Structure 1
């Protein structure tokens, strides 16, 4: 083997080694990012679970209006665990959400005239009378069993 061939072979081997080291460096960054994302997802899941406990407890204690609580719980459940959200015992939250989806919020609510607001409030009262027991039962189930089951699966 000539000197030039040996030099080219050595240069190629060094180049392959350098590329392998760089690839290892990049993979370590990917693995670190995956760990960070998993940690962030776990923290988010725990935070949402805590928020759901607070909302369900507040709904049961009457510290939160039923319609508002049901809407908030439904949205958080969808983000927390879609399987839990689709449980038949949580259906009342979906029903109340769908029944009030057309109602304006925030600035649009304030822009409504009094008659329209009263009409929506009357509808809220009817929904509350119709679904109060089911919503309270669903909130109690979430606190006692639903959220605990999800934590065990995680």
Structure 2
């Protein structure tokens, strides 16, 4: 066998080996893409289920209106920004913004009774003002909004 033939065979073997390695790498990329897509779909399904539970709890008054609206707004932002920005969901944004300055967790516990009462009075006023629109929005989410496919999957 001549050196030229041997060089060609080695070259072809090298090309075949590189091709097989490239195929191996592409299969890994495809598997990662598939796993990423499945994880994103599972996340969307989980968020959609959580939104349905929150909306139902809000309608059944098992969840305080302010807390429910805040939780729904945050989940909607993560679930589907288009749905979150739908005019029928704006009440959740309004309540979120109206309570953005309220201390939470440890800061709430550290407030004196007078400050807590002032915040609670504001909560009561917001609930009276936004109860019907929030219930209407929660009902729409359950009946129509959550049934469409999320835009940002």
The normalised TM-score by structure 1 is 0.93
1:89 counterpart residue number: 88
Bigger shift: residues 6-15 or 93-102: 6-15
Q: Which residue is 2:40 aligned to? A: 41
Gaps of 5+ in 2: none
For the aligned residues, what is the CA RMSD? 1.4
Report how far residue 119 of structure 1 moved. 1.2
For 2:106 and 2:73, locate their aligned partners in 1 and report how far apart those are by CA, in whole Å.
22
Q: Structure 1 residue runs of 4+, over 3 Å off?
A: none
Give deviations 1:93-116, integer Å, cap 9, x for gaps. 000001111111111111112111
**Partner residue, 1:128:** 127
Question: How many angstroms does 1:48 deviate by?
Answer: 0.7
TM-score, normalised relative to structure 2: 0.94
Give the superposition deviation at 1:70: 0.1
Superposed displacement of residue 149, structure 1? 2.3
Q: How does 1:1-154 map to 2 (within 5 A)?
A: 3-150=2-149
Q: Aligned with 1:127: secondary structure?
A: helix
Q: Distance in 2 between matches of 1:149 and 1:115?
A: 45
User: 2:30 and 2:50 mapped to 1: Cα distance?
Assistant: 30
Structure 1: state its 5+ residue gaps.
none
More helix as a share of residues: 1
Structure of higher RCO (CA pairs closer than 8 Å, 6+ residues apart) = 2
How far, CA to CA, are the matches of 1:108 and 1:21 in structure 2?
60
CA deviation vs aligned residue, 1:5-24 (integer Å, no higher than 9, x gap): 22222111111111110010
Aligned residue pairs, count:
151
